Structure 1
Amino acid sequence: MSVRPDKRRVAASFSKAAGSYDSVAQLQRDVGRQLLWYLPLSLRPERWLDLGCGTGHFSRALAEWYPNAQGVAVDIAEGMLQHARKAGGAQCFVAGDAEQLPLREQSCDLIFSSLALQWCGDFQAVLGEASRVLRPGGVLAFSSLCVGTLQELRDSWQAVDGFVHVNRFRALEDYQELCTDSGLHLGTLQVRAHRLHYADLRSLTHGLKALGAHNLNEGRPAGLTGRARLRALAEAYEPHRQPEGLPCTYQVIYGVLQKE
């Protein structure tokens, strides 16, 4: 399935959410920490790139992991970069697109990207840019989202109407094919489910909005969602409830590729 979110909407949405992002980003923290542990122990980068750095949490983590390396942080959302610059971690903070990186060829030893590349419509271009920017022996480590993410919300909306209310994500098979054909050596590619729980539907949708990760795909319904439809959605979601609350499942793919 083609995944083509509007990049201007993506940038605007995450810029707007910059002030609230860290307060609701537990999933992002958990996934990013897991991705750090996938990094090869032998890796000693001179320069790393935090691609889709957001508010810079993992730029600061990378600076601690690799204290002698130079760090570059890139994000498409200027609002996120403003927050990241204040907290530091990287030496350079640059507005840029993963499909067209504003970096020189063979300028990085590590590209770290956690929960950002799902917003890129052309993942082949992302891999091509990574190959161009990495030095021989350099590593691309990424986490992203794939089909099955927010499935409970998707199924509940399907019971209410036929509109696209939930972001579409790339299939695992597409990731496998594109990574295999990238020219980079594929070391790791696996999917792990991460599940959050919420007391009610309002808490869940508030969390998505505060992250800037609400519906950004084409085909979304125009205008506000009426109270009657929200009540219908809440009723449709309720059968999914678990003892911990309403589940919200993310299918996270972890990939590690190396330039030979």
Structure 2
Amino acid sequence: MPEHPGVLQGRGAHGTPYGDAALPDKRQVAASFSRAAASYDAVAELQRNVGMQLLARLPAALQAHRWLDLGCGTGYFTRALAERYVQGEGLAVDIAEGMLQHARPRAGAVHFIAGDAEFLPLQNASVDLLFSSLALQWCSDFPRVLNEASRVLRPGGVLAFSSLCVGTLQELRDSWLAVDGFVHVNRFRHFQDYQHMCTVSSLQVLALQREAQVLHFPDLRSLTTSLKDLGAHNLNPGRPGGLTGRSRIRALIEAYERFRQPDGLPATYQVVYGVLQKPLLVVRA
């Protein structure tokens, strides 16, 4: 990896994270999203809506001379940040090399770096804004993510993130529960866990909210295909292996049809929005 200003070498996505063992192995997450890079943008309606709402929550007075798009994906919000902070220097980090390869030709950032939110390959106090939309739900050790954010932010710098919590894809989860006892839907943290971890961190909580967003699909296949094209299909430990039998698929369709609304089959996402700030240095007399 070439030398970058504000970037430490040799601190990529290595080391075994500790925390919620029920969350997916990030190597599988990286591989899944790398495979989905080409199809991602075509089905990323929710991701764009959530990211735009997160952008709207950024403090208006924030001067981001160097900003970081963490979990940049295909670079959609890397470009949006570059347009917002025209005079700033942009860094884009993602654990999925396939996403970085897709994002690089579209510019927006000065540097594109393969890295892990729990082991950021950045120097201390090197960025003014850490922006991360719908990426941190894949991190098993969220307190470490907050510690890393605090480490790389300059005093007064801002961490703005969106994530997912319990209740996401609840209709699909409940439908599978009616069919069998296997894990078919990605697990997420409780919103109360986000509240606690943010409150006890070294960062000041400026805002932390949960909002539901509902997508509608004409049928179950459209929903599952969308999840696969996003790279966000079932990545949990304990998921069933092999093909799902036709009888179980029919039973799942029948169970999910009970949730049908006039606009189609609902898929609810419980989105967490957080804006945190690193306290300014206190100069003592």
Instruction: Judge same fold: TM > 0.5, yes or no.
Output: yes
Give secondary structure in 2 for the equivalent of 1:240. Answer: coil
Q: Which amino acid aligns with 1:199?
A: P
Q: CA deviation at 1:5?
A: 1.1
Distance 1:231 1:8 in 2: 32
Q: Which amino acid aligns with 2:244?
A: T
- From 200, 207, 218, the equivalent of 1:199 is 218
- From 197, 201, 205, the equivalent of 1:178 is 197
Distance 1:66 1:28 in 2: 21
Distance 2:227 2:23 in 1: 19
TM-score using structure 1 length: 0.99
Q: Which amino acid aligns with 1:194?
A: Q
Distance 1:4 1:204 in 2: 22
Matched, 1:53 2:67: no
Q: CA deviation at 1:168?
A: 0.3
Give secondary structure in 2 for the equivalent of 1:236. Answer: helix
Distance 2:277 2:127 in 1: 12
Matches within 5 A, 1:99-248: 99-248=118-267
Structure 2, unaligned runs of 5 or more: 1-18, 280-285
Give secondary structure in 2 for the equivalent of 1:203. Answer: helix
Q: CA deviation at 1:101?
A: 0.2
Q: CA deviation at 1:4?
A: 2.2
Give secondary structure in 2 for the equivalent of 1:64. Answer: helix
Match of 1:15 in 2: 34
TM-score using structure 2 length: 0.90
Which structure has the greater CA radius of gyration? 2
Q: CA deviation at 1:122?
A: 0.4
Percent identity between matched residues is: 72
Aligned-pair Cα RMSD in Å: 0.8
Q: CA deviation at 1:225?
A: 1.4
Q: Which amino acid aligns with 1:73?
A: A
Distance 1:97 1:227 in 2: 38
Distance 1:231 1:204 in 2: 15
Q: How many residues align?
A: 260
Match of 2:6 in 1: none
Partners of 2:23 and 2:188 within 8 A in 1: no
- Would you identify which runs of 4 or more consecutive aligned residues in structure 1 move more than 3 Å? none
Structure 1, unaligned runs of 5 or more: none
Match of 2:278 in 1: 259
Q: Which amino acid aligns with 1:98?
A: A
Match of 2:282 in 1: none
Q: CA deviation at 1:230?
A: 1.0
Distance 2:136 2:151 in 1: 17
The worse-fitting range, judged by mean Cα deviation, of 249-258 and 224-233 is 224-233
Q: CA deviation at 1:224?
A: 1.5
Distance 1:119 1:37 in 2: 23
